[in-house]
C-alpha cells in the first residue's frame, strides 16, 4: 500500500541532538542501522505474504479437474474416420452417421475446450447425453468425447500393460467393435475369418457378425489369436498395432469358474516388473437377469483378485443397454426399461462405493434401433468401443 510522500517547505535539516533521542549518526556509530532493519522487516513480511498466496494458489489449482488426456488434439478435420476401413462401402457406415464433431458457437473458442476437461466430466457426459431423434448421432451432456484415429488409439494402448474386458454378451459386442477399430475392418474385424469358409465369410459380414449365432462362434476373444494366425491365408487383416495384449473373459455368474480366474491372473502377472497399469472393463447385467447381488458380488470378486496382484488396476463398470422396442412382451417386466434404469442407477452407486469408474449406456441406447430388443448393431457398438477408449485415454499411465 502506497502512502503520500511528505512535502518540505525547505531543505530538510539534520536533527540536533536531544537528550534521550539518538540521531541516525549515533545509531551508525554504535553499529546499528535502524532504517535498514525496517526495510528488512518489510521485505520479510512481503516474502511471507507471497508464500502464503502461492500456497493458496497451488491448493486451488490442485482442487480443479485436470486434463489428463495424453493424446494431442488433432487440428486436421476428417470428414469420415472410416473412409479407409475395409467394409466401409459394403456395410454402409460412415463415422458421420454415428458421431458428430463438436462445433464452436463462437469463432474465438478453442477447439480443445469443447471436449470434456477430465475423466469424471467425461464419464458423466457420456452417460447423461441424448439424441435428437431416433438413430441420430448421440450428443453427450455438457462436453464432448473424442473420436480417435487408429494411430491415436495405438498411442493410448501403449500406455497399458494389458486391457481386459470382463462381462457378458453385451460387453462381448463392445469388444468385437474394439477389434474392428484396431483392425480398421468393419466387415469382419470382430471375427477369426481365417478359420471360416468363404460362404461363412459372406454371411457374417457387417452387422451379422454380431447378430447371427453361427457367426458369433468365430468371435475374437483374445488378441493373441490374431497374432498367432498364419496370415498367408489372405483372410486376415492385422491389428494396426499389437504391442498391448487385450482379452475378453466371458462371465455370467459370481463367483466365476476357476479357469477364468487363471486367465485374469495371467494378464495381471504377464510383466511382473512393469509399471504400466492393467485396465479392466467390467459389466454384468442380462446374463444374470439383472440380479443386483450377483453384480455386486462380481465387482468384489474381481477387485479382490486385482488387489492381490499389487498392480495398478483401474476398473470401469459399464451399465446395461436400454431395451429396444422389439423386446418380447414376456421380458418387459423383468428386463424392460424400468428394471434396466433402476439397475443402472443402483449398480453405479455400488461401483462408486468401491471406487470404480462407471459409465452408463442406458441414455446412449434409448433411441437406438435393436434387431431383437436386447442387442444392437455396429452403429451402436462402435461408439461404445470408442467411449471405452476415451476412458482409457484419461487414465494415468503409472
- Render pLDDT for 245-297 as a digit per residue (tens, 0 to 9): 999 999 999 999 999 999 999 999 988 888 999 999 999 999 999 999 999 99
State the residue for C-alpha cell 481386459. 164
More confident residue, 21 or 51: 51
pLDDT exceeds 70 at position 29: no
pLDDT at 66 (0 to 100): 46
pLDDT exceeds 50 at position 21: no
Q: Which helix (H) or strand (E) holds 123?
A: helix 119-128
pLDDT at 69 (0 to 100): 55
| Arithmetic mean of pLDDT, 108-125 | 89
pLDDT at 57 (0 to 100): 60
pLDDT at 70 (0 to 100): 53
pLDDT in tens, 293-307: 999 999 999 999 999
162 pairs with which residues across the strands?
A: 278
pLDDT at 12 (0 to 100): 43
Could you tell me the CA-to-CA distances from 34 to 13, 25, 41, 43, 60 in Å, in that order? 19, 11, 10, 14, 39
pLDDT exceeds 80 at position 345: yes
Q: Helix 378-393 vs helix 119-128: angle between axes, to the nearest 10 degrees?
A: 160
Please state, in angstroms and rounded to a whole number, the distance separating the CA atoms of residues 303 and 353: 12
Q: Nearest Cα to 89, choosing from 236, 206, 234?
A: 206
| Arithmetic mean of pLDDT, 137-143 | 95
User: From the centroid of its chain, how far is CA 292?
Assistant: 25
All three cell numbers of 128, joined, read 447423461
- Which of 35-44, 45-54, 350-359: highest mean pLDDT? 350-359
| Contact in structure between 141 and 129 (CB atoms under 8 Å) | yes
Please list, in sequence order, all residues whose beta carbon lies within 8 angstroms of the beta carbon of residue 246, skipping any fewer than 6 positions away.
157, 162, 163, 164, 165, 175, 178, 222, 223
DSSP symbol at 62:
H
pLDDT at 44 (0 to 100): 75
**Dihedral in degrees, nearest 10, Cα atoms 77, 78, 79, 82:** -170
Predicted confidence band at 346 (pLDDT cuts at 50, 70, 90)?
Answer: very high
pLDDT at 256 (0 to 100): 97
| Arithmetic mean of pLDDT, 94-102 | 92
Mean pLDDT of the chain: 85
Please state, in angstroms and rounded to a whole number, the distance separating the CA atoms of residues 70 and 210: 32
User: Using CA of residue 99, residue 105, residue 107, residue 113, what is the dihedral sign?
Assistant: negative
Please state, in angstroms and rounded to a whole number, the distance separating the CA atoms of residues 92 and 295: 37
pLDDT exceeds 60 at position 11: no
User: Using CA of residue 298, residue 304, residue 306, residue 312, what is the dihedral sign?
Assistant: positive
> How many CA atoms does the CB half-sphere of 205 hold within 13 Å?
14
- For 3-17, 161-175, 318-332, which range has the lowest pLDDT when averaged over its residues? 3-17
DSSP symbol at 1:
-
pLDDT at 83 (0 to 100): 92
pLDDT exceeds 90 at position 74: no
Beta strands 246-250 and 162-167, pairing class: parallel
pLDDT at 40 (0 to 100): 76
Predicted confidence band at 110 (pLDDT cuts at 50, 70, 90)?
Answer: confident
Q: Helix 292-308 vs helix 337-353: angle between axes, to the nearest 10 degrees?
A: 30
Q: What percent of the chain has pLDDT over 70?
A: 82
Please state, in angstroms and rounded to a whole number, the distance separating the CA atoms of residues 297 and 159: 30
pLDDT at 332 (0 to 100): 87
pLDDT exceeds 70 at position 157: yes
Please state, in angstroms and rounded to a whole number, the distance separating the CA atoms of residues 186 and 225: 18
Predicted confidence band at 72 (pLDDT cuts at 50, 70, 90)?
Answer: low
Which of helix, strand or coil describes residue 8? coil
The pTM assigned to this predicted structure is 0.81
Angle at 370 between CA 345 and CA 297, to 5 degrees: 35
278 pairs with which residues across the strands?
A: 162
pLDDT at 13 (0 to 100): 44
Amino acid at each position: 500500500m502506497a502512502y503520500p510522500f511528505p512535502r518540505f517547505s525547505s531543505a530538510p535539516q539534520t536533527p540536533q541532538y536531544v537528550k534521550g533521542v539518538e540521531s541516525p549518526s549515533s545509531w551508525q556509530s554504535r553499529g546499528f542501522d535502524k532504517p535498514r532493519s525496517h526495510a528488512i522487516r518489510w521485505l520479510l513480511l512481503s516474502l511471507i505474504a507471497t508464500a502464503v498466496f502461492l500456497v493458496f494458489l497451488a491448493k486451488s489449482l490442485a482442487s480443479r479437474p485436470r486434463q489428463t488426456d495424453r493424446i494431442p488434439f488433432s487440428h486436421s478435420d476428417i470428414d469420415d474416420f472410416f473412409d479407409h476401413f475395409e467394409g466401409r462401402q459394403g456395410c454402409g457406415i460412415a463415422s458421420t452417421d454415428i458421431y458428430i464433431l463438436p462445433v464452436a458457437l463462437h469463432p474465438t473458442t478453442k477447439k480443445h475446450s469443447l471436449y470434456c476437461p477430465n475423466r469424471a466430466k467425461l464419464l458423466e457426459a457420456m452417460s447423461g447425453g441424448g439424441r435428437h431423434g431416433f438413430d441420430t448421432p448421440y450428443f453427450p451432456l455438457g462436453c464432448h468425447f473424442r473420436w480417435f484415429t487408429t494411430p491415436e488409439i495405438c498411442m493410448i494402448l501403449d500406455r497399458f500393460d494389458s486391457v481386459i474386458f470382463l462381462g457378458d454378451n453385451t460387453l462381448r459386442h463392445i469388444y468385437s467393435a474394439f477389434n474392428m477399430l484396431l483392425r480398421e475392418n468393419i466387415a469382419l474385424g470382430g471375427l477369426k475369418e481365417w478359420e471360416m469358409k468363404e460362404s461363412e465369410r459372406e454371411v457374417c459380414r457387417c452387422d451379422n457378425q454380431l447378430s447371427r449365432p453361427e457367426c458369433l462362434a468365430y468371435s475374437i476373444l483374445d488378441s493373441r489369436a490374431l497374432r498367432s494366425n498364419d496370415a498367408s491365408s489372405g483372410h486376415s487383416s492385422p491389428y494396426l498395432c499389437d504391442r498391448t495384449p487385450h482379452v475378453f473373459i466371458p462371465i455370467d455368474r459370481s463367483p466365476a469358474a476357476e479357469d477364468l480366474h487363471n486367465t485374469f491372473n495371467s494378464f495381471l502377472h504377464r510383466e511382473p516388473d512393469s509399471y504400466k497399469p492393467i485396465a479392466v472393463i467390467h459389466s454384468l447385467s442380462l446374463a444374470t437377469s439383472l440380479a443386483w447381488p450377483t453384480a455386486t458380488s462380481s465387482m468384489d470378486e474381481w477387485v479382490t483378485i486385482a488387489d492381490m496382484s499389487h498392480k495398478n488396476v483401474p476398473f470401469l463398470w459399464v451399465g446395461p443397454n436400454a431395451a429396444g422396442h422389439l423386446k418380447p412382451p414376456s421380458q418387459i417386466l423383468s428386463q424392460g426399461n424400468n428394471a434396466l434404469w433402476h439397475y443402472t442407477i443402483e449398480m453405479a452407486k455400488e461401483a462408486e462405493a468401491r471406487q470404480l469408474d462407471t459409465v452408463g449406456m442406458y441414455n446412449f441406447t434409448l433411441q437406438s434401433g435393436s434387431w431383437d430388443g436386447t442387442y444392437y448393431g455396429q452403429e451402436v457398438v462402435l461408439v461404445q468401443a470408442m467411449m471405452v477408449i476415451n476412458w482409457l485415454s484419461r487414465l494415468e499411465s503409472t
